[in-house]
Structure 1
Amino acid sequence: MKGFVFFDLDGTLLNGESKVDASTAEAIQTLKNNGYEPFIATGRSPAETRDIMESANIHSGIFMNGQVVLYQGERVYSSEIPTETVKKFHQMVKEDGYGLTAYNDKQFYLIASSPGAKDAYGFIHSNPPALNPDFYKENPINMMLF
């Protein structure tokens, strides 16, 4: 391998509809054929980017602003938020009427809903995740989005 090439998603790897153009996928394949490993570098989770990674034929990435790193499809690093910390934030946002999404590398759920959640996810052409207030109690959490 000659090196690594890192790509942001919005406005870089993705077009205006949050899709990978065929010409972009071809360019990624050319990089791979020339000995380079493409990486996605994003604030999103692996669960949110599965389709993007498949479309671009990319299997490595730095996700959730560095909380999870995958290399050739395998998790090589994960930093988790203590459950007690997530619980405190959950209680706080419920009291103040804000939304809160909890993420790990496999899945993500709203653990507190708000009217602004739909708008926030609409910005990246996605639907808000399902509501599961107990998700953090049974799963590791790498990132929270308010």
Structure 2
Amino acid sequence: MGTIPKAIFLDMDGTILNHYNKVSGYTKQIIDELRERGMYVFIATGRAFDEINELVPDGFEVDGIISSNGMAGYVGNKAIFEHSLTFELVEKMIDKAREHKIYYELFPYEAERIALKQDRKFIEDEIRDPKPESVGMNEWLSRQQAVKEAINWKDQIEGNKFSKFYFFARTKDHINQWKEELEKIKQDIDFTTSISSNHNVEVMVANVNKGTGIQKMLNYFNLTEVETLAIGDSNNDLPMFQFVDYAVSMKNASDHIKGIVDEVTEFTCDEEGVYHYLKKTLVPATIK
């Protein structure tokens, strides 16, 4: 790394979240320390803003949060930018998801995620035990928790502002067939897709991703991309990696991701990889 970054962007799943979907006190500690030394620290996640509080320790603070793969940005609880899926696209996606019996969650802004009651049976069937070997434990636990507690099962779609769709399948063949269907839908209504595992795909507004979200956040704070560092682990982090000045992947990332970044952490997300990396590389560099 050349210059000391002024802004650091951290992914959540597989990065600061361990495989049991928790951010540790060590991660909070290093973020607090870097912010005290004058660096800006941001979250850049595929998760919706409303999901984050339950995953982090008490007192966890960052300078801003980019959520839903760039669909919205928050400083404190204030949205500084927000994109929304159209109602036309939402209706079409749910009709097609039902046709293909694909697990979905629709995320309205400032409300619980939605799925329709008539689709509950095939959605629940996708997360039946046992867990398929190729599905990551963090994703599996999140889906089970969503079906049991987080999804608001509705008779009809409610709301008029939606941050994203999350789709999941227990087999790779099923999700790959769905990705092919999404490409067909895209011929009628443009949108962006993002993938963070071999079993999911998310849908956002066209030309929106973590990179575009970072640009908006930097503009808000009058920062430039020349002094930025990002840490992530999966395909939905690629736009972020391409945008920032210095890209770091987690040790637990795929070889494909490791091959396109500037550096790889020494430890995984289950071994406090972000804490160790930032402590080793940035704390000594900022001691005056």
Task: Tell me the TM-score range normalised by the shorter chain.
Answer: 0.7 to 0.9
| In 2, Cα distance between equivalents of 1:138 and 1:33 | 40
| In 1, Cα distance between equivalents of 2:77 and 2:57 | 11
Give the CA deviation at 1:57: 2.1
- Cα RMSD (Å) of the superposition? 2.5
Matching of residue 12 in structure 1 with residue 15 in structure 2: yes
Give the CA deviation at 1:16: 3.0
Q: Which moved more, 1:65-74 or 1:110-119?
A: 110-119
Give the CA deviation at 1:73: 2.8
Residue 45 of structure 1 aligns to which amino acid in structure 2?
A: A
User: Aligned match of 1:92 in 96, 106, 117?
Assistant: 96
Alpha-carbon spacing, 1:53–1:74, altered in 2? closer, same or farther (3 Å): farther
Matching of residue 83 in structure 1 with residue 87 in structure 2: yes
Determine the structure 1 residue equivalent to 2:49. Answer: 46
Number of paired residues?
Answer: 144
Determine the structure 2 residue equivalent to 1:31. Answer: 34
Give the CA deviation at 1:109: 2.0
SS at match of 1:28: helix
Bigger radius of gyration, 1 or 2?
2
Alpha-carbon spacing, 1:122–1:23, altered in 2? closer, same or farther (3 Å): closer
Give unmatched runs, 5+ long, in structure 2. Answer: 168-288
| In 2, Cα distance between equivalents of 1:137 and 1:36 | 40
Q: How do residues 134-145 of structure 1 correspond to structure 2 at under 5 angstroms?
A: 134=156, 136-145=157-166
Alpha-carbon spacing, 1:52–1:31, altered in 2? closer, same or farther (3 Å): farther
| In 2, Cα distance between equivalents of 1:52 and 1:38 | 17
Instruction: List per-residue Cα deviations over 1:111-140 (Å, max 9, x = no partner).
Output: 343122566896333212322242x43241
Q: How do residues 121-132 of structure 1 correspond to structure 2 at under 5 angstroms?
A: 123-124=138-139, 125-126=141-142, 127-128=145-146, 129-130=150-151, 131-132=153-154
SS at match of 1:138: coil
Alpha-carbon spacing, 1:138–1:121, altered in 2? closer, same or farther (3 Å): farther
Give the CA deviation at 1:75: 0.5
Give unmatched runs, 5+ long, in structure 1. Answer: none
